Amino acid sequence: MVGRRVVAVIAAFAVAIAISSVHVVPAVAVVPGTADQPTKDVDAGLTSLSSFIGQLATNGQFAKQMPTLNLIPGSADGFGVADMISATLAAAPLNGELGGAEHLDEVASKLDSVSNVDLGDGRKVSIDASHQSALGLDTIPIDFHLTRAVTAGLAVETQTAPFAFTSTSGVDVTLTLDLHVDLAYVPGQGGTEGFVYLEHSDSTPSLSASVQSTALHQAQTKGAIGILGVLLNDSSSYSVSAHLKAAFADPNNDGKLAFKEPDGSGGFNPGELAGDGAPAGLVAVNYDTGLTNAADGQLDFEAQSSDLIDNLPTGSASVHVSAPNLTLPNPVTATYGAGALDTFSAFERLTPKDLADAIASLVQTLTTAQLTKSTAALTDNIDLPFMKGTLADMFQVSEALRAFLEKYVE
């Protein structure tokens, strides 16, 4: 039991170190105290917009894995939608305070100064912004542009002529995202809080994103068919091009989308954009059917040998993967010659339950071996010096495997 306490202390210490290393991006930009009221109001509006856009990470196609590609566009490994605005507001030159802006002209100027800013994880952001004022209405058109180069794996699965191939790496992909909003501001009376909203029309707000492969590195695309490791040959090829766009709804058709709206008595009521459910209710992220959404590949592969397991099958096969329209249900098809995958078929039929049963057997074997006394010193259940208990009390070699089964296998 002493051993378990020691392990628990070590685990807790490791968790504490991991937590302390996490960088938390400030969610709120705070302008200087000398900023005028319109600047403070617009700053609050941008903070709310940051949170709203961040919730789109789980909206529609942003939250779904790309067909044939081991990538979820809206995730932290993709566009990082959850924090792309807040991280930009926190990074230089804005530094969490809109660059020290004190007037709306400066707000627009500081936003416009964001040019190819690296958010620290390969995402690069540029912003175009300006300030316009007429007839008591201030508007700040904002264009947010994000690019990122990532490496993803293949994730091919077909329903007809069944075939599945996965890898963790190998495909270079360029991600591009553009967001446009027209931020409008109506000043309050006597220096009080003003009304901030997004103008709504057929062209604003708008959000579009593209996923474009640029290269396949065959040697790095170590994948699997079922549980059998395979390697792609140099003759293999792959490409994907996908385009997403968001549609923003205006429930009352007044041309305004707001987080809070004037109540007519000097106060405010929650607007359409308020509430955690608003992004899902007002925004739909789907494929842009007016642009190309397709994938195609020629996968020429051979079984990977292992120094640990004898008698693994040897063989090679060629499969043509096609998805001319990613917007369709089950869009991926595979074409291969008769009998081409016979060598690999048994490994495709092996299920996670089969593996779980094998792990369960291994747990029992390890436990039995550990608790068995033997004349061989290295296999004895050794008594611990200076304390009660045995080596099996301190190190439960099967504990992690048992915990895995309890957590993941029904």
Q: Are residues 234 and 150 in the same domain?
A: yes
Q: Are residues 71 and 175 in the same domain?
A: yes
Q: Is the pLDDT of residue 406 over 80?
A: no
Q: Are residues 280 and 370 in the same domain?
A: no
| Least confident range of 6-10, 142-146, 304-308 | 6-10
Average pLDDT over residues 253-277: 91
Q: Best-predicted range by mean pLDDT among 58-72, 150-164, 327-341?
A: 58-72
> How sure is the predictor about 225, in pLDDT bands with cuts at 50, 70 and 90?
confident
Domain end, chosen from 328, 349, 370, is at 349
Q: Are residues 165 and 247 in the same domain?
A: yes
Check residues 380 and 35 and name the one with the higher pLDDT: 35
Q: What is the DSSP string of 10-34?
A: HHHHHHHHHHHTPPPPPS-----TT
Q: Which tokens sit at 189?
A: 């009376």
Q: Are residues 258 and 110 in the same domain?
A: yes
* 67 prior amide bond cis, ω within 30: no
> How sure is the predictor about 252, in pLDDT bands with cuts at 50, 70 and 90?
very high
Interaxial angle between packed helices 104-112 and 37-54, expressed in degrees from 0 to 180 and rounded to the nearest 10: 40
Domain end, chosen from 349, 373, 395, is at 349
> How sure is the predictor about 14, in pLDDT bands with cuts at 50, 70 and 90?
very low
Residues in the chain: 410
Q: Are residues 382 and 280 in the same domain?
A: no
pLDDT of residue 89: 96
51-103 pLDDT tens trace: 999 999 999 999 999 999 999 999 999 999 999 999 999 999 999 999 999 99
Q: Are residues 71 and 16 in the same domain?
A: yes
Which of these, 129, 132, 57, 62, lies nearest to 87 by C-alpha position? 57
354-402 pLDDT tens trace: 666 667 766 666 666 666 555 545 455 556 555 555 555 544 556 655 6
Average pLDDT over residues 141-150: 98
- Domain residues for 399? 352-408
Check residues 17 and 238 and name the one with the higher pLDDT: 238
Domain end, chosen from 324, 349, 374, is at 349
- CA torsion through residues 154, 160, 163, 164, sign: positive
Q: Are residues 180 and 207 in the same domain?
A: yes
Average pLDDT over residues 315-344: 89
8 Å CB contact between 69 and 106: no
Q: Are residues 62 and 167 in the same domain?
A: yes
> How sure is the predictor about 163, in pLDDT bands with cuts at 50, 70 and 90?
confident
165-191 pLDDT tens trace: 888 899 999 999 999 999 999 998 766
Check residues 256 and 343 and name the one with the higher pLDDT: 256
Q: Are residues 247 and 376 in the same domain?
A: no
pLDDT of residue 408: 47
Which of these, 181, 178, 177, 185, lies nearest to 204 by C-alpha position? 181
Which of these, 49, 39, 132, 32, lies nearest to 84 by C-alpha position? 49
Average pLDDT over residues 32-40: 89
Q: CA dihedral in degrees (285, 289, 290, 295; nearest 10)?
A: 110
What rounded mean pLDDT belongs to the chain? 83
Q: Are residues 49 and 148 in the same domain?
A: yes
Q: Are residues 95 and 199 in the same domain?
A: yes
Number of domains observed in the structure of the chain: 2
The overall pTM is greater than 0.75: yes
Average pLDDT over residues 4-26: 35
